[in-house]
Each structure stands twice: as structure tokens, then as C-alpha cells.
Structure 1
Amino acid sequence: MIESADEFVRLRTSEDPAEYRRAANEPAAEAIWREVIDRFPQMRFWVAQNKTVPLSILEVLRRDPDERVRSMVRAKRSWARAHPQDSSRLGDPE
């Protein structure tokens, strides 16, 4: 489990493939994801890419100003299951 925002950034920017995979696959508490979003805006795409990120965090990232982040959210299966009406995978409704 990822224990802090700083740990997530360290894992994500590591050159060690095992650490990089941890950033993509390990869960973190919702408060940690929120801290990453607030303190490290350049990491929002990578938060959205994490396979365990909760829907509540995806809800925040779906409104991100960066199209890459919004697109990553729309590409997640968990998002599509929760928001089938968000058929904007080919474009952004907002």
C-alpha cells in the first residue's frame, strides 16, 4: 500500500521497474490521492492511471483542466461501469 503522496511520486518517478509498477498497481487511502492531486498536479494523469484509484478520485479528475487526465478517466473500466451515460470516450462533453 502506498503510504504517502511523497512515496507515490518517488515510486512513479523511479527508474526501478518494480517501483514504477507499484505506483500503477498499489492502493492508497483517498486522502493520499487527494494530497497527490493538490501538491503534485503534474502527477494527476498517473493517479488516474492507477488501477486501484477509487471512483471518488476519478470524479475529481474527470473535471481536470488537462484533457489527458480526463481522457484517462474515461478510459477506465470502473468509470464506464459507474457512468455509462458518459459516452464521451471519443470527445469531451464539457
Structure 2
Amino acid sequence: MTFVIENATEYAKWFDAAPSSERWAALSKEYAELATWVEIVEEFPRCQIAVAQNATVPLEILDRLRSARDFKVQWKVRTQQRWRDAHPDDPGPFDFDLDELIHYDLSSTERKVLRHGLVEWGGPAHCTEELAVAMGFASIADLFAQTNRIIVALKNSQPMRHIDWVRTMLATEIVFMSGTVGAAGDWETVTGIPDLETFRIIRGLQSHLVVNPLIGKAFGTRFKKREGGLS
């Protein structure tokens, strides 16, 4: 049975609902009139990522979302086969301009977690030269130098290059969880952000930031299998 989204508020309620197969179907498969889609993207910007993934959304809406402020929204448009068929000259979802400055619509708490994800390497965490390089920095000294620049950008909601988002996210994941080199049990004390809230925020950031597709492009060397064994 085809379900029709009648108005923007209805769609937003589905967006805010607990995960379920019904929620996924309503957000990604169900139909709405063009005017309703316009209302959704204008009144509920947080829903734009979901709208960009909807299988029935008109190309007129995808065209609008292609220039959205949030890079994840732009990227989701680029993953739509209908969009690629209509705009073959537009870069594909895995074609990145590594020098472009990109923005994500993040909450103040999300940005605070990312800032502490860098700052705490100069606090209770114990970074090594090798780990600093693995996280995308030239050295521990470079980690601290880049931290000063990145936290300013995060505080002021400024765009950053892809590589900055990737290494900031990775540094945050490690420093929060690791009891070997990270802050671990000291995280809540030094940041003032409860562990459970931090975990929830990091999970949200992991689904929001386009970082995994950068592995092997802007960040590191992707592992390759060879026939008959590993390489």
C-alpha cells in the first residue's frame, strides 16, 4: 500500500520517531506533492538529508538540495541514481574535491564534543608519534598545531577541508573510548559531557559526517585484496 505524506509536520514526526521499518519506509519511499516537499525542506532543514534519499522526491527538490549548506545533504543528492542520470557531468558521490571547504550543520554540543576530541590529546590522553600519524597528522607537534586552527573553525561554525573533518572525527573516537592512549574514564570529568551523551553524539556524528568514503583518497591507503591471499 502506498503511503502519502500529507504535510511537512507529518514528515518531521516520522523523522524524529524511533528507528523502525515503518519510519524508514515513510522517510525513504513514500510520496508527497511537490509543494509538500518544498514545505519540508524549508520548514524542517534537519530533514533534508532524509529527503535527499527519498526514492520518489522530484528532481526539482534534488536540484534545490544539491546546493544545500550541509555537505551531507549535497552528497546524498549525488548518490541518487535519478540525479546522476539527469546530471551526468555532476561529480559522483566518490569524486571529491579535496581542497574544497565544506560545512556540516551541527549542534553546539556536537561541535563541543569534536573540540574536546582534539583538545584532550593535550590533557589526560597519551598520544604517540605513530598514533598522531595514524590519525592524519605529521607528528604530535602537528596534532597540537592543527588543533588550535580546527577548534577555532568548530567554535565559529566555519567550513573545513575534508581531511580536517576526517582526522577530527577519528581523534575524537579514539580519545573518548581508548583506555590505553585516550581519556577514557577521565573524559566526563575533564569535558563535563556525560559518557552516555557523548556516545550518543558520536554515533550521530558517525552517520552525519562523510568521512568513510575519504579513506584511500584524502586519508591513508585503502587495503587491497589480491587473488590468492592478502596484500
Q: Same fold (TM over 0.5)?
A: yes
- Tell me the equivalent position of 1:60: 64
| Pairwise CA distance, 1:88 | 4.3
1:14–1:20 contact (8 Å) kept in structure 2: no
CA-to-aligned-CA distance 1:34-64 (integer Å, 9 cap, x gap): 1111111111111101111110000000010
Contact 2:79-2:92 at 8 Å conserved across structures: no
Count of aligned pairs between the two proteins: 94
Partner residue, 2:89: 85
Compute the displacement of 1:20 (Å).
3.2
1:40 aligns with 2:44: yes
Larger Rg: 2
| Cα pair 1:37 1:44 within 8 Å, conserved | yes
C-alpha distance in structure 2 between counterparts of 1:76 and 1:62, whole Å: 11
Which whole-Å CA distance do the structure 2 matches of 1:18 and 1:65 have between them?
A: 29
Percent identity over the alignment?
A: 35
**What corresponds to 1:75 in structure 2?**
79
Structure 2 unaligned spans of 5+:
102-231
1:24 aligns with 2:32: no
Contact 1:48–1:73 (CA under 8 A) maintained in structure 2: yes
Structure with more of its chain in helix, by fraction: 1
User: Amino acid of the residue matched to residue 2 of structure 1?
Assistant: I
Q: Which has the higher contact order (CA 8 A, sep 6+)?
A: 1
Aligned counterpart, 1:12? 15
Structure 1 stretch 59-68 or stretch 83-92: which is displaced more? 83-92
Look up the equivalent residue of 1:45 and give its one-letter code: I
**How far is 1:3 from its partner?**
0.5
Aligned partners of 2:52 and 2:77 also within 8 Å? yes
Looking at structure 2, the residues matched to 19 and 44 of structure 1 have their Cα atoms a distance apart, in angstroms, of 15
Aligned-residue RMSD, C-alpha: 1.8
Please tell me the residue identity of whatever aligns with 1:91.
F
1:2 corresponds in structure 2 to 5
